[in-house]
Chains A and B, each alone.
Chain A
Amino acid sequence: MPEVLKAPLVVEFPFTRSLGPVQSAFLTGLRERVVLGVRTTDGRTLVPPVEYDPVTAEEIHDLVEVAPTGTVTTWAWNHAPRRGQPLTTPFAWVLVRLDGADTALLHALDAPGPDAVHTGMRVRIRWAGERTGAITDIACFEPHDGEPGQPSGSHGELAGDRVTGIVAPARLDYTYSPGRAQSAYIAELSTQRTVGERCPSCRKVYVPPRGACPTCGVPTAEQVEVGPRGTVTTFCIVNIKAKNLDIEVPYVYAHIALDGADLALHGRIGGIPYDQVRMGLRVEPVWTEGARYPDHYRPTGEPDADYDAYKELL
């Protein structure tokens, strides 16, 4: 068995999210150093505010300002901050009930060490220098010995444009491993051979192999070399240039049934004007120096395959 392949895989996306009226008011408030809660019909004040009562599911929108000072309701010491967390130095995660609120807000507390933190301790908001209307406008909390803070009295009438959306970048890092069957397939490709796997039950040859027959639900293991030539079973004409892809449009992207395979794979068709590609066209792979897979497929010059020869593979 060839070495199992591994490669880094980064999944990264800036999620653009729109805000409802209550979230919009809260995040606009943070930008102006004002903390707004929302009052439920039974008189509790929720901070951070939500649009629906968590108990009754009733819609709520009665905004009320609370103080920038509060009390820690529980905490956890984080000696090794991770990427994206509010502070890069050791800190405490805290739930803080701000003065005037009945619920607690999750954030970070900047403290010298775990011995300096306890449930019930008094803290205040440390505002971020640059604020955009996001939860990170609160840089963190810090210990606070003084009087409770006073609300600004703004009651949600805030200066400037309201924040109506946030962009939340997310990034996760993986080490991707394709498993036994696909590792073997990729290893063979590096010698310019295409190898599928045959189902022991229905005898179909799958390429690329996934280690199982999707019809019979049994493992596949017997390797079978297929191609290199094949037949175009269906195709489309691509008219929009993809970002970072150096291929002139229009070009043809096709399903290609390699000789001996019972499943079509896909690839680009070159060496023929795009409007002359057709179902049944016989093609062969074109490799470029050092590539791990064919760059494209080109016509072999053979007569077209009979429709009956590939109709099961459409």
Chain B
Amino acid sequence: MTSEEPSGVRDIAVVAFAQTDVRRTTDELSEVEMLMPVLHSVLDRTGLKTADMDFTCSGSSDYLAGRAFSFTLALDGVGAWPPISESHVEMDGAWALYEAWTKLLTGDADTALVYSYGKSSPGSVRDVLTRQLDPYYVAPLWPDSVALAALQAQALIDAGDTDEPALAAIGARSRRVATLNSRAQLRGSVPQGDYVVRPLRTGDCPPVGDGAAAVILAAGERARALCSRPAWIRGIDHRIEAHALGVRDLTDSPSTRLAAEKAGAFERPVDTAELHAPFSAQEVVLRKALRLNDSVRVNLSGGALAANPMMAAGLIRIGEAAARIHRGESDRALAHATSGPCLQQNLVAVLEGEPR
């Protein structure tokens, strides 16, 4: 069903991206109702229908809304009957994109629809995320997501890598550039606020919000037909560190560095980076691990400090990076997604546009 590429390895590109507005609450919408407009939006960009998709992959977590098997209901949004070739990851959609990319690499599919969504508003996401921790030694203590990020921030401060004013500046810059991103939840000037868990203040933490995103991948000539400037995926890799925080050096992210190396990020400089750093201190860690200097435009979307819909925020990083290539604003971009406490798991994708 597919044509062999000259190199023997298929070229695969992000050809379309769409996302919802991210909002603090979406009481009036079920998950599928929140998701459907974004699915139609991404399809409209290519003129494709869901029935044209060779493979569909999604990412979400039932724990956010407290609804078992919610992804099966969300499938209504893509029209899952008669049965489609479909898969789901209980993770951020960036990992669903990785799975779809692998599927396209095998030649079993030429096109893939990747989507993810998160409705954090029904519960308390700080408490919900404690349930992903080691169930024997850590989860019984209920350390919330801000507390764990604060331990990492203090370790960075102790190491002399940052200080509280520098962290505040990261949050402020993220929300200032987000004024150009109509989808972002927090835009413009936002007070740095009180300590949530010291040393992190409100302004160092991501807003809690609901949102969804979708991406279409296509291989080879199919990608060129669907998009005037495809964002070719030159490499993707994801790596994981020890789960126990006390085993890791919290001031560094060796898994990000390794993923970036395997994805080819260090072969040539990138001009753009979209980093999934939900907490201000994590941007410090990631810039260091990815060797990003001031010539790289980092998080022009505002990043996760402006909008962090759980399970979609990582996919949005890839989508934002790809959209800049589509629009001719970037030639080589790095996109990063994270999952787990204190940057436990990290995915890096390198995207390129052809010379104009």
B30 touches A82 (CB 8 A): no
**Which chain B residues lie closer than 8 Å to A214 at the CB level?**
75-76, 79-81
A181 contacts the other chain (Cβ, under 8 Å)? yes
Complex contact A54–B242 (CB within 8 A): yes
Partner of A74, one of B127, B154, B242: B154
Interface of A is mostly: mixed
Confirm or deny: A280 has a beta carbon within 8 angstroms of a beta carbon on chain B: no
CB pair B131–A210 under 8 Å, yes or no, is no
- A178 interface hit (Cβ, 8 Å): yes
Q: A106-B246, A217-B39, A217-B77 are in contact. Are A211 and B30 (CB under 8 A)?
A: yes
How many residues from B make CB contacts under 8 Å with A? 62
Give the residue of A48, A50, A211 whose beta carbon is less than 8 angstroms from that of B36.
A211
Our pick among A76, A166, A172 for the contact of B153 (Cβ within 8 Å) is: A76
Indicate if A131 sits at the interface (CB-CB under 8 A): no
How far does the Cβ of B181 sit from chain A's closest Cβ, in whole Å? 26
A232 interfacial contact with B, CB 8 Å: no
| B92 CB, nearest partner CB in chain A, Å | 20
Looking across the interface, which residue of chain A has its beta carbon closest to that of B198?
Answer: A77
B73 proximity list for chain A (CB < 8 A): 210
Known: A97-B246, A103-B244. A177 touches B141 (CB 8 A): no
Which of B67, B76, B136, B250 lies in contact with A135, CB distance below 8 A? B136
Asked whether, in the complex, the Cβ of B33 is within 8 Å of the Cβ of A212, the reply is yes
By a CB distance below 8 angstroms, the chain A residues around B195 are 77, 79
Q: Say if the beta carbon of A6 comes within 8 Å of chain B.
A: yes
The answer for the CA separation of A160 and B199 in the assembled complex, in Å, is: 43
| Inter-subunit contact B136/A106 (CB<8 Å) | no
With A103-B244, A181-B33, A217-B76 already in contact, the answer to whether A172 and B147 are too (CB < 8 A) is no
Find chain B residues with CB under 8 A from A83 CB.
Answer: 127, 142
Q: For the complex, give the distance between the alpha carbons of A97 and B246 in Å.
A: 8
Which residues of the partner chain B approach A168 to less than 8 Å between Cβ atoms?
Answer: 135-136, 139-140
Q: Are B36 and A219 in contact (CB under 8 A)?
A: yes
User: Are B151 and A75 within 8 A (Cβ)?
Assistant: yes
**DSSP class of B's interface residues: helix, strand, loop or mixed?**
helix
* Bound CA span A177–B152, Å: 35
B122 at the interface (CB under 8 A from A): yes
**Which interface residue of A97, A107, A174 has the most chain B CB atoms within 10 A?**
A174
Asked if A125 is at the interface of the complex by the 8 Å CB criterion, the answer is no
Residues of B77-100 whose CB lies within 8 A of A: 77-82
Beyond A85-B142, A176-B66, A179-B30, whether A213 also contacts B76 by CB under 8 A is yes
List, in ascending order, chain A residues with CB within 8 A of B138's CB.
Answer: 106, 135
Contacts of B137 in A (CB 8 A): 48, 105-106, 135
CB proximity of B280 to chain A, nearest CB, Å:
14
Distance A302 CA – B151 CA, assembled complex (angstroms): 70
The interface bits of chain A over 48-71 (1 if a CB of B lies within 8 angstroms of the residue's CB, else 0) are 101000100000000000000000
B124 within 8 Å of A by Cβ? yes
- Nearest to A23 among chain B residues (CB) is B136
Q: Is B197 part of the contact surface with A, judged by Cβ < 8 Å? A: yes
User: Nearest CB to that of B50 among chain A residues?
Assistant: A217
Task: Tally A residues with Cβ within 8 Å of B.
Answer: 65
> Could you say which residues of chain B place their CB within 8 Å of the CB of A106?
137-138, 141, 143, 151, 245-246
Q: In this complex, what residue of B is CB-closest to A48?
A: B137
Docked CA distance A233–B78 (Å): 27
At the interface, yes or no: A192 with Cβ under 8 Å from chain B?
no
Which of A79, A114, A181 interacts with B30 by CB under 8 Å?
A181
Tell me how far the C-beta of B307 lies from the nearest C-beta in chain A, rounded to whole angstroms: 21
Chain B residues within 8 Å of A108, by CB: 141
Asked whether any CB of chain B lies closer than 8 Å to the CB of A9, the reply is: yes
User: What is the bound-complex CA distance between A244 and B135, given in angstroms?
Assistant: 30
The verdict on B11 contacting chain A, using a C-beta distance below 8 Å, is no
Q: Say yes or no: A76-B142 contact (C-beta < 8 A), given A180-B33, A214-B76.
A: no
B155 within 8 A of A: yes
> Is there a chain B Cβ closer than 8 Å to A288's Cβ?
no
Please determine whether B154 and A170 come into contact, CB atoms closer than 8 angstroms.
no
**In the assembled complex, B105 has its CB within 8 A of some CB on chain A:** no
Q: Is B246 a contact partner of A95 (Cβ separation < 8 A)?
A: yes
Per-residue CB contact flags for chain A residues 206-221 toward chain B (1 = under 8 Å, else 0) read 0000111111111100
Name the B residues within 8 Å of A134 (CB-CB).
140
| Complex contact B246–A73 (CB within 8 A) | yes
Q: Which of B242-280 contact A (CB under 8 A)?
A: 242, 244-247, 250
Is there contact, CB below 8 Å, between A11 and B66? yes
* Shortest distance between the CB of B79 and any CB in chain A (Å): 3
- When distances are taken between beta carbons in the complex, the residues of chain B under 8 Å from A180 are 28-30, 33
Query: In the complex, what's the smallest C-beta–C-beta distance from A308 to chain B, in angstroms?
Result: 21
- Does A76 lie within 8 Å of B197, measured CB to CB? yes
One digit per residue, 1 when the CB lies within 8 angstroms of any chain B CB and 0 when it does not, for chain A 1-14 equals 00010100101000
A265 to B247, CA, bound (A): 52
Q: How far is the CA of A185 from the CA of B143 in the complex (A)?
A: 39
**Min distance, Cβ B291 to any Cβ of chain A, angstroms:** 24
Q: Are A217 and B78 in contact (CB under 8 A)?
A: yes
A173 to B130, CA, bound (A): 13
Nearest CB in chain A to that of B73: its residue:
A210
A-B contact pairs, 17 of them (CB 8 A): A17-B136, A73-B246, A74-B158, A75-B154, A82-B142, A85-B141, A93-B143, A106-B246, A136-B140, A168-B140, A173-B127, A178-B30, A179-B28, A179-B32, A212-B36, A213-B79, A215-B82
Q: Which residues of A contact B (CB under 8 A)?
A: 4, 6, 9, 11, 15, 17, 19, 23, 27, 46-48, 50, 54, 73-79, 82-86, 93, 95, 97, 103-108, 114, 119, 134-136, 166, 168, 170, 172-183, 210-219
- Interface residue ranges, B against A (CB under 8 Å): 27-33, 36, 39-40, 50, 63, 65-67, 73, 75-82, 122-124, 126-128, 130-131, 135-144, 147-148, 150-155, 158, 195, 197-200, 242, 244-247, 250
Closest 3 CB pairs of A and B: A179-B30, A217-B79, A104-B246
